[in-house]
Amino acid sequence: MREAHPLERQVGIDYYVSDGPGTGGRLRADPADFRVREIEAMAPEPLDADPGAYPHLLVRATLTDWDTNDFAGALSDALGISRERVSWAGTKDKRAVTTQLFSIRGVDAADLPALSAAKVDPLGRIGRNLEFGDLAGNAFQIRVRDPDRPDAVAAVTEDLSEFGGGRVAVPNVFGNQRFGSKRPVTHEVGLHVVREEWREAVLVYAGNPAETEPERTQAARETVDDVAASADPDWQAALDAMPGHLGYERSMLRKLVENGGAEPADFRAALETVPWNLQRLFVNAAQSHAFNRILSERLRRGLPFDRPVAGDVVAFADADAPDGVALPDTGRLQRVSADRVDVVRRHCERGRAFVTAPLVGTETELGDGEPGDIEREILADLDLDPADFDLPGNFESTGTRRAILVDTALELARDPLTLSFSLPSGSYATAVLREYLKVDPRDL
């Protein structure tokens, strides 16, 4: 196996499946080079349905070079409504052309505004707002500009097909953007949170400068570190040094100024100043880091991903998934005993079951045999236990299990080099792209 990029190893991704060199090249030289379209899983009522029973307008938006959060804000501003009335199923890359669903509470199709670089089409009405994950998957069409070795795609495709048992497949890792593409520390914050090391969690987030940041930002984080190391911390000085655009860091430091910043409870209160979804992301990133490490160890040991071994836990396919989309139902799990390996293997070959690994939480049950040994060894090395996730407020997590393999019917065009593929909800395009390009993950 080929060793992964150093930044990937920081987040638990240790290897590439494919041994040969990648194509190299550039992504997103133009937003149109990176196209992503949601595979929709929401069937709305007609536009003239009773707004009392169906208060949310469902729209399909095609956006060019828009951040999802920024578009939601611009849409709510143009409508003159609260930002909280706009919801979506999945966050997309900014420098791209994206087609995705949004729900808007309490408006009619006639109210929709015209926004620059956005085409918004009303589809119908629904009875609740969209929630994260309300999509079956995403379809990608990605152009690679100026590849150094365009012919490398053949060897990579062969390796990935062998890995997937005849279909192009990759480990279902969480990409670097899960942890912070330029400063991958979100999982480090989460690991401290799970250990209830509140002071360390705040300092990793607000201090801890990275070379990839602007000099002013590095200097501000160095000030935080210096203040924290002093016998009598002057948190006001740290707040004064922090640039205005780092709003979350400033909110944490402001809370330390208010509370004194001397007790663990002060630092927990500082963490809780950030939005609830970021609080959860800290813990989710810790879970994701452990998951990536479990997959890396499974690769190192040569265990298969497309079929189970004794001790694995599989999830059966979701019977309610849209046609053509294979999704695991993590509510339907089964441990694979030695006498059931062959039977379950056939289910996996037919797309009826998926080998899983834990996103550890309070209700996580670990595997048996060698897969269970791997899971326990990684958790022990990270000083984690399922019971540790019994945390206050938005930091608590019950955990789940996640498929360890994602496969796709990938199509390649050579001139220009273009990769077209679809992935289920929750899987990362970078898991495929990293194998083909083998570049710095910040460039994916």
Catalytic residue positions?
A: 93
Give CA–CA dist 70/81, Å, rounded: 15
Nearest to 408 by CA among 227, 175, 163, 189: 163
Strand-pair category, 34-40 with 97-105: parallel
Give CA–CA dist 324/422, Å, rounded: 10
Give CA–CA dist 187/193, Å, rounded: 10
Q: Enter the tokens of residue 260.
A: 């004194």
Give CA–CA dist 43/323, Å, rounded: 14
Q: What is the torsion angle, in degrees rounded to the nearest 10, for the CA atoms of residue 413, residue 175, residue 158 and residue 35? A: -10
Q: Identify the three-state secondary structure at position 173.
A: coil
Whose structure tokens read 């593929």? 421
Nearest to 248 by CA among 226, 224, 231: 224
Give CA–CA dist 342/238, Å, rounded: 60
Length of the chain: 444
Q: Enter the tokens of residue 54.
A: 């169906």
Give CA–CA dist 423/406, Å, rounded: 7
Q: Enter the tokens of residue 156.
A: 């990579």
Whose structure tokens read 């979350």? 248
Which residues make Cβ contacts (< 8 Å) with residue 36, sequence separation at least 6?
A: 92, 93, 96, 97, 98, 99, 100, 138, 139, 140, 141, 429
Q: Enter the tokens of residue 208.
A: 């801890």
For the chain, what is the radius of gyration of the CA atoms?
Answer: 23
